[in-house]
Structure 1
Amino acid sequence: MPGLPAGLPFNDTVGDTVPPDTAHAVSVSLPTWRSNVAYEEGERWVVEKMQCGYPRFFIHKSIDRLAATIVYHHGAPNSEKAMLFASHRGAQRCEGFLKRQNPSANLSCIRILDFVPATHAREAAEPNAILPRLSAVVYPAELWPTAKQFWQHTGEGISSRRAEFCHRALDEHRMVESSLVSNSPPRVNRGPKRYQKLSVDLRNTNGLLNGEESATNGLNNPDSVQFVEERFGRNLNSTFASQAKLAVRKRIAGSLISDAELPESLDHPETQNPTRLRRRDVPSFSADDVYLYPTGMNAIFHAHEALKSSIREAKSVMYGFPYVDTLKVLEKFGPGAVFYGHGNSSDLDDLERRLESGERVLSLFCEFPGNPLLRSPDVKRIRALADKYDFAVVIDETIGNFLNVHVLPYADVLVSSLTKIFSGDSNVMGGSMILNPNSRYYSVLKQYLSEEYEDTQFEEDSVYLERNSRDFVNRSQRVSHNAEVIADTLRAHPRVKQVNYPKYSDTKDFYDVCRLPDGGYGGLLSATFYTMEDAEAFYDHLDTQKGPSLGTNFTISSPFVILAHYTELDWAAQFGCEASLVRFSVGLEDTENLKKAFDFALAAIPSS
């Protein structure tokens, strides 16, 4: 098999879900350095084995099948494709992006199809049942790269669970294209037998809520499957889903730390006793200032849209080396961006000079701390500049998380990916946006969101997210402890060039300004090596899960720069992100066993 490192046994996990046997996994196994490179190069021995991928970069197979089914019946399968969204407005944003980015294409072919519950299905539905809905943008197949950009950058696309729920409803004629809504009986499927078999196969292999089949659908947590099945059966219930969403919002607000069942946990004494809360210490802040989104990137996208619509049209600032799509959102969905990739005091000096000369900006986006270099921005100085020169500050707190750091006082808007440590199980996507009640923009943003906000987080995803996040507090403390041990282990080895971790960064003082008294330094770190050969030997011998994503309950490692910036390695290197960088999201494993795994991999590095 090409691409396998010499001296290692054949690793047959390439392309498997991470965690293993998980129908809605958000990571994929790339267990060797060369498998990561091969993925970026599009080599078949990797690409053809991939059962999944990170959901914004890899269209889940259940979503792809539903899109193909829609095009088969409502489009031209040989020349058209479809992108699927939870709302008509999301589809409109995709349609607009396709047209702006491809002005010379045949734009008249781009169209939106809305799928709604059939009349008989609405009438037969149980009270409070969730009914299937989605919108599809059908477009010429040659525009696929642009459509994929929109999907990746904005996080607007539907989840795999929603796809399965809606595909089942489409097959059973409980969901139809809106122009076909009538009181007539459901039509017989007139498609060819090969299509009919596809639908049956899809239901049998991926039907999470399809009666007894759900117990054998490959999910890694039988308790969660049983829990959802007992609560819902075949029908998603809006009342319980709403309780799950409220619990998630209260947990993000810091006003709920109980791990009791719903709805009891919503009335738990901890929500009434201020001395026992991990409260975000901002006057008048509440769960009403927390907004849920289907992905963290979707929260970032809508934060930018809200600021742009509520305040002014102007460039934004990306401060610090960013997660790749945040910069793309600022560049492609507005007047553009000013990029300060080093995220140091010199960058802030330059920004201040520009502002002093009269230049205006809409907002400054930063991460606290950054990914993958774990550098922390000087949020005190940024806040002072924002107050003086009238721009908004948006802080992505995904990596730090509010149990370790308190950054809300320095932000107008906080965003976070709930897919990461808040969930931990790597089987559901989610995001949040938080408004600071003390922000000068609070009133206009509240008004904008009262009119424009759509809750498009699929109800079943919300149930999993609530279930996963109940032990968030304990998990956060344990991964911080384990990560410090691994950081010390790497720092002690002579063949490791640099370890990036907030505790050991030259920006530690900026982190500590926001660190809570009992807060740690988080579960994410990275290391660079003196040579690519050293990095490859270490990575190939490291016995952890390996793939994209972070914040998992298990340790997961990735050659981050290779995966995120393979076509721009020289560009990334100028900001300190070298190609030999390996990123580690440390999990809940026994500390000594975890250290032994890292010691073993370090020992595999060739002697100098």
Structure 2
Amino acid sequence: MTIATISLPLGKAIPEKPHAISVQIPTWSDMCGMGRGDIQIMEALRNGYPRTFIHKDVQELSRACQSRFLSSPGKILLFPDPKSAQACKSYIISSDIHKNEAISSKSVSIFAIETGESQPTIMHAGKPPGPTTIWAIAFPEESAKVGAQFWRLTGTGISSRLAENCLRDVESMQRVDRPVKRFYSAMSAVHPVYQTICARIAYLMERASTGTPRSLAVRPSDVFLYPSGMSAIYHVQQMLLKWRGLETVVIGFPYELTIKMVETYGPSFKFYSLGTDEQIDEFEIYLDTKARSGSMIQAVWCECPSNPLLYTVDLERIRKLADKYGFVLVVDETIGSFANVDVLGVADIVVTSLSKSFNGYADLLAGSVTLNPNYCYYGALKTCLKEDYTNNLYIDDAIQLERNSRNFLERAAKMNDTAECIVDYLSPFASDPSSVVNAVHYPKTGQSTQRYRSRMRQATDEFTPGYGCLFTVDFDTIDASRAFFDSLDVRKGPSLGANITLAQPYVQMVLQKEKKWAASHGLRETIVRVSVGLEDKHVVLQSVKNAHMMAEKTKGTHAL
């Protein structure tokens, strides 16, 4: 029995569905080319992660809008609400960010587009109240790269399902000065699917909690839904800037978003990207120095555990510092997931990419923000978040998300088991000097294991928590990494937490142009990240064994 995916061609959507959020990039060479932006690789893509590669339906709708509504050459980006479109305009014209390359405000326009009596692609009770409205931002072609960067780093663009729906009524599109309320926003107030998702998340956040009992439980009204995980992060940061407008500190986020986060999300960020004890010592000294001068920070962001090195920072210590110095602690638990870890004992705010394990089928983007009612800033944060909140999770995506997440715990259990089985096989090689395996990064192994375990939920008859679906293997040489990746018979592409196994040489694809920066933050270019799926664990394990055997054959051929 084999997974038989090595022959899957470059650029093929994975999974093979209309709204897939990953894409097959089958070889090490292809991944490097993708990271560099090589034209021949980019032109071969028929799909991609929607924030990085704009979905074909969104592209088609954008072209139709450009043809209909632009009198001169230019580009259009489409958003589900006017605030997101305005934020994109502010980014494009910002001289603080783009210096001399910034364009004038007069060259950028925002307008609403309505289609006729569109029906959602997934039918549900009741008729949608009126036409669909989306917002377009039009700008010169010279700013296309900058606009795409905003789309990628904020995750606020329209959904592929919304675009698909609009294309059904593309002939009825018209530019309007006074748009009506778009149907899916109005539906969000009455359609039960949103309440169902929020209630499910609230239940999972409180299920089998760790540590001492909490005074107050998370309610569905404490959960806010967004059209992507990055949109959830973006809106929380915007809310924090509105609330306090102070410095934000990032601890243990050593990945590509930190490079542009300062420019996109607002001023004044400080990074401790490895999150080691020594860095937290430095951070505490920094906090004390600021306090002595009468100043403070607004928030600290952490992951549990981190992507892609699966490291868990000392969240308990950071919580104590939050209480002492009066800042908010935001934790992204996407990698650990609602199933395995409970971060409400430390976090004021929990952000999650629902696109990953919660959804589980790699066919939509969604995100959530959960506010913890047990900390002192809860009331102020909830008031501030609600003031500007718009539910932009498209109704069709919400309905699909609710369906997909029904078996979340069942899927999480299987992926926990498969990943642990494979890591148990690989880990001994990391301590063997004769092996090409340099390290295996996984919450069960390494220096931060006890910190992760302190956040694990209690075991119940329903579910036994584990270490998640993700692990990262580091090899001694590029040759060994390449041999392992090219021989690994699984799907090759971005994203994680899907029902299918996905592998990616993380630095080669994500940080190809920033390798020195990545290395300075502990990310070697020899790492291969693997997210296991729901395939038979013995089949996946055998594929890993075969790939590992090929990697070992490179021993002594070339030094890194």
Aligned mates of 2:69, 2:115 — CA distance in 1: 17
Which position in structure 1 is the counterpart of 2:234? Answer: 301
Q: Structure 1 284/235 Cα, relative in aligned 2: closer, same or farther at 3 Å?
A: closer
**Aligned-partner Cα distance in 2 for 1:114–1:36:** 38
1:94 aligns with 2:92: no
Distance verdict in 2 for CA 1:120–1:397, change over 3 Å: closer
Residue ranges of structure 2 left out of the alignment (5+ in a row): 120-124, 430-434, 460-464, 556-560
Are the equivalent residues in 1 in contact too, given 2:366–2:393 (CA < 8 A)?
Answer: yes
RMSD over aligned Cα, in angstroms? 2.6
Cα distance change on mapping 1:326 and 1:246 into 2, 3 Å: farther
Aligned partner (choices 37, 53, 60) of residue 55 of structure 2:
60
Task: Look up the equivalent residue of 2:11 and give its one-letter code.
Answer: G
Alignment check: 8 A CA contact 2:24 2:493 kept = yes
Question: Partners in 2 of 1:522 and 1:241 — Cα distance?
Answer: 35
- SS of 1:357's equivalent in the other structure is helix
Deviations 1:46-105 (A, max 9, x none): 22121111011011111111111111121145x310111000111111111111144652
Which residue, 464, 470, 488 being the options, matches 1:542? Answer: 488
For 2:52, give the aligned amino acid. Answer: F
- Could you tell me how far 1:386 is from its partner in structure 2? 0.8
TM-score w.r.t. length of structure 1: 0.81
Correspondences of 1:340-419 after superposition (within 5 Å): 340-358=272-290, 359-419=295-355
User: In 2 relative to 1, CA 436–327 (structure 1 residues): closer, same or farther, beyond 3 Å?
Assistant: farther
Partner secondary structure for residue 92 of structure 2: helix
Sort the Cα spacing of 1:512 and 1:105 in 2 relative to 1 into closer, same or farther, 3 A: same
Could you tell me which residue of structure 1 aligns to residue 13 of structure 2? 17
- 1:226 alignment partner in structure 2: none
State the TM-score, normalizing by the size of structure 2.
Answer: 0.88
Q: State the SS of the aligned residue for 1:149.
A: helix
- The aligned amino acid for 2:281 is D
**Does residue 437 of structure 1 match 2:373?**
yes
Distance 1:591 1:469 in 2: 21
- Quote the sequence identity (%): 35
User: 1:349-374 CA distances to partner (integer Å, 9 max, x unpaired)?
Assistant: 11111111125211111110000000
Q: Is the aligned partner of 1:449 residue 2:447?
A: no
- Pair 1:314 & 2:246 matched: yes
> Which stretch shows the higher mean deviation, 352-361 or 90-99?
352-361
State the partner residue of 1:43. Answer: 38
Q: Which has the higher contact order (CA 8 A, sep 6+)?
A: 2
Amino acid in structure 1 at the alignment position of 2:261: V
Identify if the C-alpha distance between structure 1 residues 53 and 386 changes in structure 2 by more than 3 Å, giving closer, same or farther.
same
Superposition deviation, residue 126 in structure 1: 6.9
User: 1:168 deviation in Å?
Assistant: 2.2
Alignment partners' CA distance in 1, 2:401 and 2:492: 23
Q: 1:235 to 1:286 in 2, by over 3 A?
A: closer
Q: Residues of 1 paired with 2:296 and 2:133: CA distance?
A: 41
- 2:191 match: 242
Give 1:180-579 correspondences, 5 Å limit: 238=187, 242-254=191-203, 278=208, 282=214, 283-310=216-243, 312-325=244-257, 328-358=260-290, 359-493=295-429, 494-518=435-459, 519-579=465-525
Matched residue SS, 1:484: helix
Does the aligned pair in 1 maintain the 2:184–2:394 contact within 8 Å? no
Kept in 2, the 8 Å contact 1:324–1:564? The answer is: yes
Gaps spanning 5+ residues in structure 1: where? 1-7, 183-233, 257-273
Q: Is the 8 A contact 1:241 1:463 kept in 2?
A: no
Deviation at 1:248, TM superposition (A): 1.3
Alignment partner of 1:82 out of 70, 73, 76: 76
Which letter does structure 1 place at the counterpart of 2:523? Answer: C
Aligned to 2:139: 139
Instruction: Write the distance in 1 (CA, Å) between the matches of 2:486 and 2:307.
Output: 22
Deviation, 1:333, is 2.4
How many Å separate the matches in 2 of 1:547 and 1:326?
21
- State the alpha-carbon separation in 2 of the partners of residues 12 and 362 from structure 1: 47
Q: Distance in 2 between matches of 1:543 and 1:165?
A: 36
Mean Cα displacement is larger for which, 39-48 or 93-102? Answer: 39-48
Taking the aligned partners of 1:166 and 1:317, their CA distance within structure 2 comes to 40
Equivalenced residue count is 523
Q: CA deviation at 1:313?
A: 1.4
After superposition, the Cα gap between the structure-2 partners of 1:592 and 1:388, relative to the gap in structure 1 and judged at 3 Å, is: same
Q: How far 1:515 moved relative to its partner?
A: 0.9
CA offsets per residue over residues 207-231 of structure 1, 9 Å max, x none?
A: xxxxxxxxxxxxxxxxxxxxxxxxx
CA distance in 2, matches of 1:237, 1:384: 42
Residues 11 and 46 of structure 1: CA distance in aligned 2, closer, same or farther (over 3 Å): farther
The 1-side partners of 2:184 and 2:379 are apart by 38
